Chain A
Amino acid sequence: NAGVTQTPKFRVLKTGQSMTLLCAQDMNHEYMYWYRQDPGMGLRLIHYSVGEGTTAKGEVPDGYNVSRLKKQNFLLGLESAAPSQTSVYFCASGWQGDQPQHFGDGTRLSIL
């Protein structure tokens, strides 16, 4: 099993450009999450989903949008990238809140 796969692994954008990060899981998990992690800092929840077709805001949702059209996929969109969004983005999935989360390998995003 691949587990949680994030695409792409690295990306450099210019300010104002848009892009979509893809997260795919093959474990049939209901819950999926997007986090950002800045140097020396913890995991900050951006958005999450508790099932297909649902999304909810996390701790730092501004500047991001998400969609969960299919159970196995969770997309994170940046409509107009800003340098403050330079970070490492992790996707995770789990059966529900009180079950282990499985993380992807991360996407390293730099915005110039």
Chain B
Amino acid sequence: GENVEQHPSTLSVQEGDSAVIKCTYSDSASNYFPWYKQELGKRPQLIIDIRSNVGEKKDQRIAVTLNKTAKHFSLHITETQPEDSAVYFCAASHGFQKLVFGTGTRLLVSP
């Protein structure tokens, strides 16, 4: 089955810096890669997703890149703000297979 590894487990940046979170997946058939943000005490919420027919997707300050050959995908946050502080989860799946989550990255943005 699919296995998703996520790094780093914690990431501290200064406000205004960029943050990058990386994930690797094992199943070459996976074609859907979402990212979730979970604020303290809240539910995970989808912030961006990408499918295997696209190499990069942007939404304002966040972007996701996908390298199918290397089987890894990354979340990029530019101009970080304190409200970006949260736990971020990557995930992967294909077709009717269940979504498999990474272990999460705790991002702390200091003012």
Among the 9-residue stretches B13-21, B39-47, B61-69, B73-81, the one with 4 or more Cβ atoms under 8 Å from chain A is B39-47
B96:A96 contact, CB within 8 angstroms: yes
Q: B interface, by DSSP: helix, strand, loop or mixed?
A: loop
Is the Cβ of A105 less than 8 Å from the Cβ of B43? yes
The distance in angstroms between the C-alpha atoms of A104 and B34, with both chains bound, is 17
With known contacts A100-B34, A100-B49, A33–B43 Cβ distance under 8 A? no
* Chain A interface, DSSP helix/strand/loop, else mixed: loop
Interface size class on chain A is 20 to 34
**Residue pair A103, B43 in contact (C-beta under 8 Å):** yes
Measured as residues with beta carbon below 8 angstroms from the partner, the interface class of chain B is: 20 to 34
A98-B95 Cα distance, complex, nearest whole Å: 5
Cβ of B87 to closest chain A Cβ, rounded Å:
8
Residues of A within 8 A of B94 (CB): 97-98
